[in-house]
Amino acid sequence: MADWHPILNAIEVAAGEWWMPNPVDEPYAVVKLIEVNGERGYRVVTYAPESADRKLIGYYGNLRAATFGANHWYTRSLGWSGPPFIGWKGAQHRQSVNQMRRVSSWP
């Protein structure tokens, strides 16, 4: 599944707002299009029924990076913090994460 990306799971619930569902279709994150000082980007927060109970995951410059960031937070929250599995392309992954960080460095 080399062509799969978390953006494929995003469900647009309103214009400019996406929910990221887990494997049993419960939302784990909310991605929202925002504008700060005339610049558009995406804010990602954990899902909670009440907005006040949500926690910030991060800000991103594009939807692809935002959904990747949400999915990364979710998979890390599952508890796996050990070494990568066999066949993991560590250098390639680090490169894509570094590119994402360069793109998503605004507030």
| Cα distance between residue 83 and residue 8, in whole Å | 26
Query: Both tokens of residue 52?
Result: 């006040």
Confirm whether 53 is domain-assigned.
yes
Q: Give the pLDDT of residue 105.
A: 47
Q: Residue-wise pLDDT tens for the chain (107 aa)?
A: 568 899 999 999 999 999 999 999 999 999 999 999 999 999 999 999 999 999 999 999 999 999 999 999 999 898 866 665 555 555 455 555 555 555 544 44
**C-alpha dist (Å) from residue 66 to 16, 57, 82, 83, 86:** 12, 9, 24, 24, 27
Confirm whether 74 is domain-assigned.
yes
Query: Both tokens of residue 9?
Result: 């799971």
Q: Give the pLDDT of residue 4.
A: 84
Confirm whether 92 is domain-assigned.
yes
Domain that residue 70 falls in: 6-79+87-103
Taking a C-beta distance cutoff of 8 angstroms, is the pair 70, 76 a contact? no
Which residue type does 34 have?
Answer: I
Confirm whether 1 is domain-assigned.
no
Number of domains in the chain: 1
Strand residue runs (E) in 5-91: 11-14, 17-21, 27-36, 39-46, 56-60
